Structures are given as C-alpha cells and as structure tokens.
Chains A and B, each alone.
Chain A
Amino acid sequence: MLYREAGQFKASYQEDAQIFPIRQDRVGFIALLAFFFVVVPMIANQYWLQAILTPVLIFSLAALGLNILTGYAGQLSLGSAAFMAVGAFATYNFMLRIDGIPFLVAVVLGGLCAAGVGILFGLPSLRIKGFYLAVATLAAQFFIVWVLVKFPWFSNYSSSGVITAQEINILGFAFNTPETKYLLTLLVVTVLALAAKNMVRSTTGRKWMAVRDMDVAAEVIGIRLMRTKLQAFAVSSFYCGVAGALYAYTYLGTVEPEGFNLDLSFKILFMIIIGGVGSILGSFLGAAFIVLLPVFLNIFLHSFVGAALPPGFGSNLELMIFGGLIIFFLIVEPHGMARLWQIGKEKLRLWPFPH
C-alpha cells in the first residue's frame, strides 16, 4: 500500500535512468543519509562511533571493492587485505614525503597505488580461472606483506614496520575527534558507494557481469577480456586501497603490515558472501554483520555464561559460534542478506493485500 510504483510515470530518459526509480526508495535513501550524517553523530557515544560505526563503514568499502571483483566480474580473490595494506602504506608515504599534500589527495594517490599493484596481480587472471586464481591471489597476500615488513623504507624505518598515522587536516580543520573522523569516513564511503552503484549499472558493470557469467561468450560478443578484467582488478584494488588508508587514518591510528593478514582477507570475503555476492547493499549489510557479530557474541557470553567458563574457553567458543553461524547462514540463505531485503521489498509491494 505504501510502497509501490503505481502512478509514478517516467516522462524523460533521465527519469528512467535514475538510481532509485521508485519515489519511496529515493525518499528513504535521503532519510537514511540524513540519519547517518546528522542524527547519528548527535546521539551516538564515542565508543559506538569509534569502535563500531567507523569500522563498519571502512569494511563496507573494502567489501564493496571485493564485491566489484568477485561479485560483478567473477574473479575470486583472497588478497584484499594486502591491497588495503598498499593503500594505507602508500597514503602514509605520500603524507610523509610530500610537504603540505592535502589528505584527500594523498588518499586518492594511495588508492591509485593499490590499483596499480592490483593490475599487476590481476594479470594471471587472463589465463587462470576459479580456485586456481584464488590461490594465485594468495601470492599477492603473502608477497605484499613480506615486502612491507622487509623494506623499512615503506614504514619510514620504524621498528617492526609499524606506522603511526599523521594528523588529518583538511583546509585548516583538524579531524581528530571520533565524530569528525566518522563523518569524514562516511563522506568518502558515500561518494565511493554511489560511484560504484553507477559503475555497475553502466557499460562498465555490464561488461563485468558478462565476463562473470561466461568469459568466452563475452569475448565473442566483442568485450575485450583483458581490459575488462584488469579494469575490475584496478577499480576493486582502488576501493580496497582507500579502505586501507581510512583503516589506518580514521580507525586505528597505528597499523603494521602483519595486521593486514590472510584473516582480514577472509573476513572481507565473508562479508560479501553473507551480505550478498554481486550487490552494493550487500557489502554494507555483510560488513555490519561481521563487525557486530563478535561484539554481540562477546557481550552475550560474558553476561550469561562468562563467569562459569574456564579462561580461554570463551574465545574458542566464540570461534566455534562464528564458524557455525557462517555455515548456518550459508545453508539458510546462500544468496545473502541482500536477497532477504529484496524478498522483503517484494512482499511489501503486495502488503497488506496478498493478491
């Protein structure tokens, strides 16, 4: 009754091609943005902003990057954390070595460095497919972390490769409180997510999807495989790189190469699987789920059974529940949370009259 497109006529091509063709979606999206930009910084406390909302946004961005590569272009990758590391360390070095470089420019340059590295490690995808490619991307994961540890130049000769993020200062305004850092992250993520949404519904994204569904067929209808695949690797790595830079600058403050390990890559992969492969919204839902799950599990275990457990058992139980939930989720809804949202929308259209 409330959510349906009846009576909303499109009179121009522009109206037909907009991101949210249904008015309710448009209004809802703007309300959502207003909520997160205006209301959340006012009502949320420091812990929520710093320890939950900011990482959720950053991981959403990384998941978005991986989703572009895996969900849209069909190239399975296990090296997303390494590309995040490239972004973080490149941004750090640009900030360090170029005097007075604006922060956002450094982040973009860092992302571009990650894109370059991504293209390099994307080259094997022209010949290798499926799980073979996934294992080959592990080469990127281990090699990049090794390079960042072994060559101290990247971390400005600090001990064991730890870098400490510089102050963020944009046009004389210092971003040093959780609120401002959260807003900065939100702004970057919003812009990039909108860009991604537009990319996947234009020629670029359709080419990616054609390659995903069957690359030989895509080649036959005139899509240049090399360009399309490398483009997907570049864009995906750019997103991961920017996410890595934000991870270092607005979330943690100090990072080391070993922090961007295989576990982090898997986490990002989990996000897109649970959120929904090949869905922009899914990246956000998945990131929120994976970040919040350990927090809630921890609270749950501590408040209910915490005292009775032997030490060390709790963390193992957490591990078991985490693994079990992932399996459970895959069995119950293999298409992810984005699919649940879609089903909900379909139902809402008919509500309250089911026929």
Chain B
Amino acid sequence: MTFFLEVLIGGLLSGVLYALVALGFVLIFKASGVFNFAQGAMVFFAALTFVGFTEVLPGWTGLEPGSGGVFWLAFALALASMIVLGIATEKVVLRPLVNQPPITLFMATIGLTFFVEGLAQAIWGANARGLSLGISDEPVMWILDDFDIIISKFDLIAAGIALVLFVVLALLFQYTRVGRALRAVADDHQAALSVGIPLKHIWAIVWGVAGFVALIAGLIWGSRNGVQFALTFTALKALPVLILGGFTSVPGAIIGGLIIGASEKLAEIYIGPFVGGGIESWFPYVLAMFFLLVRPEGLFGEKHIDRV
C-alpha cells in the first residue's frame, strides 16, 4: 500500500510538470486556434538560454558565479528572449498565414520547431548541461518518518511553483482587463474584433505568456533531467495530456496532466513487468486514445456540433 501511494504521488507530481508544458499549448490554441507544436522546442530553447546566460554572465558583469544576482539576471534575460521569440513568431510566421487551414498552421509550427531547436543549439552549443535551482533532490524527512513514504523535496517544490503559476494565470484570466480580452478572443475572434479588442496585441501577449510558461517548464524540467536535446521529447508527453483534457481547457490541462502522470507510472510498475517494460513511451497515448473513444472532445473540451 505504501509503495502504491509512493508511485501514485510520484506520478501525480510528474504529471504536474506535464501539465505545465500542456498549459503553453492550451493558451495558444485557445487564443489563436493554432496547434503550436513548437512549444516543446520553446521549452528547450528557454532552458538552454537560461543556462547559457548563467554561464556567460559572471564573465560579463563580474558577479559571483551561482549567486542570486546571476540567477535573477539570467532569468530576466531568458524571459526577455522568450517574449521576443514569441512575438517574432507571431509576426513572422503566423500573421502571413492567417485564414489558412489549421493543418497548414500546424505544419508551420513544426517548421518552427526545427528552426528553434537549431537556433538554440547554434547559439549555446549542443552539449548537455546541468541546471541547478538550488533545491536538493532528497526525500522530505517528516513525511518519511510519519507515513513511511518517500517524496522528493524537489518534486514537491516544483509542484508548488506550478500551482502558483496556475493560480496566477487563472486570476489574470479572470480579473484583469487583458484577461477579459483574452477570453473574448478565445470565444470568438470576430466578435472580439467588432467590440474593439486589438486582436494583434492579444496574440502577441498570448505568445509572450506562452514563452513565460515555457521558461518555467524548462527550468523545472531542466534541473530535473539536465538541459539536453531529449527535453524536446519530454514535451511530446504533453500531447496525450492535451487530448485527454481537451485542447481549450486550462483545468483540463492540469487534470489531464495528473491523470497521465499517475497512470503511466502505475502502468509501468504494475503492468510493465508482464510485457517486458518500457511501456511508459506509448501508454499515455493509448490511454488517451481509448479515452477519446468515450469522449471525443476530451474531458473539458468544447462539445463539437456538426452542422451541414
């Protein structure tokens, strides 16, 4: 039982991280209807840019390597690069493709994926690096003592950061002027335009926010597994999360992430040994596929009504 709980909680915590990547997809899909495949590459780009800046900043500014100043300066610079990247994407790639079928936009974002991956490695080099946020990856002692369950402190803090991010975004969407405009655009582009919401600004903001989310996801994933090219594959795991939760729902991304994270770990432990292991690579997809057979629009997706 303890072991089961341990696996379950570990899965849920890693699910939060999947949700973090999925959130970036959802934001953009909601606001502009673009299935942004490059989100994974953006996570990679963000993490690599951050690490790159922490490496070069001490030389430029004379700050102590590893100090808080370097951390925050690198964070700010990485955030600025992500926002520039996001806005440039919107301007250069998506605006000329307005009114094209969704598959064309999707293909353009795959092209963007190649470009961003190449760009990140061309600037900062292709070798894998470590990234430290100053949080140690050790079990939390009092939980271990009281309940006999091993939970990593790192996972817990990462989940906490993700939670704060979700809450902040939810508040932003719900209570600010920009948030209201975002929701209006997500609901209906033309109606939003007709009441005077500047669509182009909104899209730029959304891409900027998606860049910010990618940076947070990149930092957490990067300090977990190291900053390397494989980071882009981790982002693929966000896809089953998306279809499980529905492309257009922020709560869907979170709950989908939790379900995928928990079920893939449980499946690996309890079903894996019977079929030879390694089923983590495809289990989420198959789970999501069977789930879709029951609910074709995902958990919280908008119900699809066909009219002839």
Contacts and interface: CB of A to CB of B under 8 A. Distances in A.
Interface of A: 70, 76, 124, 127-132, 134-136, 138-139, 142-143, 146, 149-151, 214-217, 220, 262, 266, 269-270, 273, 277, 312-313, 316-327, 330-331, 334
Given A129-B304, A135-B242, A330-B104, A142 B114 contact: no
B126 interface: yes
Nearest to A70: B103
Contact of B122 (A131, A132, A262, A317): A317
A322 B110 CA distance: 11
B86 to A, nearest CB: 15
A277 B298 CA distance: 28
B160 interface: no
Nearest to B241: A135
Contacts of A220: 308
B98 to A, nearest CB: 11
A277 B126 CA distance: 35
14 contacts: A127-B293, A128-B293, A135-B243, A142-B281, A142-B282, A143-B282, A150-B278, A216-B308, A312-B126, A321-B118, A322-B118, A323-B117, A326-B111, A331-B97
Given A135-B240, A326-B107, A142 B125 contact: no
Contacts of B62: none
Contacts of A322: 111, 114, 118
B286 A273 contact: no
Contact of B288 (A136, A262, A323): A136
A323 B97 contact: no
Given A135-B243, A150-B278, A269-B107, A320 B122 contact: yes
Most chain A CB atoms below 10 A, which of B97, B111, B240, B282: B111
Nearest to B276: A150
Contacts of B296: 127-129, 132
At the interface, is chain A mostly helix, strand, loop or mixed? helix
Interface string B106-129: 111011111111110110011000
A334 B97 contact: yes
A143 B286 contact: yes
B279 interface: yes
B289 interface: yes
B173 interface: no
Contact of B285 (A127, A131, A139, A151): A139
B169 to A, nearest CB: 22
Contacts of A216: 306-308
Given A139-B282, A150-B276, 18 more contacts: A127-B292, A128-B296, A130-B102, A132-B247, A132-B298, A135-B243, A139-B285, A146-B282, A215-B306, A216-B306, A277-B103, A319-B121, A320-B119, A322-B118, A323-B118, A327-B108, A331-B96, A331-B97
A124 B292 contact: yes
A58 B103 CA distance: 24
Most chain B CB atoms below 10 A, which of A129, A131, A217: A131
